[in-house]
Structure 1
Amino acid sequence: MLFLIFSCETKNELSFEALSISKKACEDCSLVSIDVPKAMGNTKLATSINTAIQEEIISWLSFNETGRANNIHEGINAFLQDYNELKNKYPEESMPWEATIDGDIVFENEQILTIQLKSYLFTGGAHGLSTIRFLNFDKSAKKELDREELFKSEVQFTSYAENLFKKQENIPAEADINSTGFMFETETYYLPENIGYTDDGLLLYYEPYEIASYADGAITLLIPFQEINSYLKLPVIY
């Protein structure tokens, strides 16, 4: 009986180690640097976490969908190979590429784990592109949560978030969401693809280009949990 009690109490506990990979063939070559958490053990939850992180990294490194990588090392090799192929075609115009990906655990309680991944990719052009992804996990269900799985009703939460967004961005309540210069498609407010649990509340993160120009950078809306717990399938009670 004591063993069963101990197992129930610790089944959702996690331990992590750092997964650090850096690859650069020469001084003037392209660089790939990865530093993300790796869940330890062979549990279903650890596998879900590591698979989600791996898939996100591969998606950032992959430019040729016909040669989809099966793991992070293949993704790195594909990224470097794509650059080399470009350099062979245009040797005088090809600056070395760079991919830097870092990950951190930004929230964890008994039910929820959120990992934030930050990437910087430079593949030519005037500037590189910085991106953030939030990976939210239900520790009891041992799976990653899609955006719609975060809310009891995504429609109701979207309406609530729109009101907060307008207040934050000084948009009149009855005005069109794009009336002050935002670029929501179809002139309708919508949630960002990136939403993550943080210690300070639920963070809505709009990527550069998602609803505004690149010069405007990322647009964020942070909502304390006590204000929105009624909308969340997994509320956070302090």
Structure 2
Amino acid sequence: MKYTLSILLVTLIFIGCKEDKNLIFETSSFDNERCSNCATVTISVPKAMGNKKLDEVINNALREEVIFILKYDDEVNANSIDSAIQSFQNEYSKLREKFPEESTLWEASINGAVTYENDRILTIQLDYYLFTGGAHGYGSTRFLNFDKTKATELGNEELFKDIVDFQGFAEAKFREQENIPTSQAINSTGFMFEGDEFYLPENIGFTNDGLQLFYEQYEVASYADGPIILNLPFEEIQRYLIPLSL
């Protein structure tokens, strides 16, 4: 009986240690004042909880990304999400003052979620939508990747052992998905890669199914085509990636 209890205790400790490697998040929500002349802003992003350096790195990166998406008024020194919301509102107010008959309300929504986490890598996806007048709004996705062991944010080139080698593989998969013959230029079917040369998107992130390459609207195709997304399963790309676990 004592032997059985000892095994159980060791097992629970082992499981607990493994679970401790996952970060703890809470949801941080932000919005602005509701009024007839106010833009509509809703933000919901994860916040890493704790006093570790990694938590600070993650939260700072998320804050800077949200500020970058929202900031419209260069005269405002936006150093927080609240001040970025105010920047967005200020620009809308200037428009209303200049064109009082303008009835279209500006809108911004940003939602973030953890899409991948193991003992080394963390990926957070931000989906956002902006409407600032005109025929249509603009929505997109941004990925933030982190090395938990080093407490650093990862650039795209740091996700791969050799990014040039991976790019060649990604181009082959892109051509296969989009039915672009290997004998023809990458833009031969209507894409708009600059210089008619394939390149990786700015937004690359991990999901539980693998790696996602996210080309924003206008990045390589027309607005009508929407975002172009290439999902690559882990089993196909493992040899190109940095070690994802310890």
Q: TM-score, normalised by structure 1?
A: 0.92
Residue number among 149, 160, 178 corresponding to 2:169 in the alignment: 160
- For the Cα contact (< 8 Å) 1:115–1:134, is it kept in 2? yes
- For the Cα contact (< 8 Å) 1:114–1:134, is it kept in 2? yes
Match of 2:11 in 1: none
- For the Cα contact (< 8 Å) 2:22–2:118, is it kept in 1? no
Match of 2:218 in 1: 209
Q: 5+ residue gaps in structure 1?
A: none
Alpha-carbon offset, residue 67 of structure 1: 2.3
Q: How many residues align?
A: 233
Match of 1:172 in 2: 181
- For the Cα contact (< 8 Å) 2:106–2:132, is it kept in 1? yes
Alpha-carbon offset, residue 11 of structure 1: 7.1
| Percent of residue pairs identical | 53
Give the Cα separation in 2 of the matches to 1:116 and 1:77: 24
Instruction: Tell me how large the CA RMSD over aligned residues is.
Output: 2.1
Give the Cα separation in 1 of the matches to 2:162 and 2:77: 35
Q: Does 1:23 align with 2:23?
A: no
Match of 1:109 in 2: 118
Q: Secondary structure at the match of 1:160?
A: helix
Letter in 2 for 1:98: E
Q: TM-score, normalised by structure 2?
A: 0.89
- For the Cα contact (< 8 Å) 1:58–1:75, is it kept in 2? yes
Match of 2:10 in 1: none
Match of 2:143 in 1: 134
Give the Cα separation in 1 of the matches to 2:133 and 2:21: 43
| Structure 1 stretch displaced more, 57-66 or 151-160 | 57-66
Alpha-carbon offset, residue 193 of structure 1: 0.3
- For the Cα contact (< 8 Å) 1:225–1:235, is it kept in 2? no
- For the Cα contact (< 8 Å) 2:121–2:148, is it kept in 1? yes
- For the Cα contact (< 8 Å) 1:208–1:216, is it kept in 2? yes
Q: Does 1:227 align with 2:236?
A: yes
Give the Cα separation in 2 of the matches to 1:236 and 1:17: 24
Runs of 4+ with >4 A deviation: 8-12
Alpha-carbon offset, residue 41 of structure 1: 1.1
Note the alpha carbon deviations across 1:54-113, whole angstroms, 9 max, x for none: 011000111233423001011111111111111111111352111100011111111111
Q: Secondary structure at the match of 1:126?
A: coil
Q: Kindly name which structure, 1 or 2, has the bigger radius of gyration based on alpha carbons.
A: 2
Alpha-carbon offset, residue 25 of structure 1: 3.2
Note the alpha carbon deviations across 1:137-159, whole angstroms, 9 max, x for none: 11101111111111111111111
Q: Does 1:78 align with 2:87?
A: yes
Q: Does 1:200 align with 2:200?
A: no
Q: 5+ residue gaps in structure 2?
A: 1-13
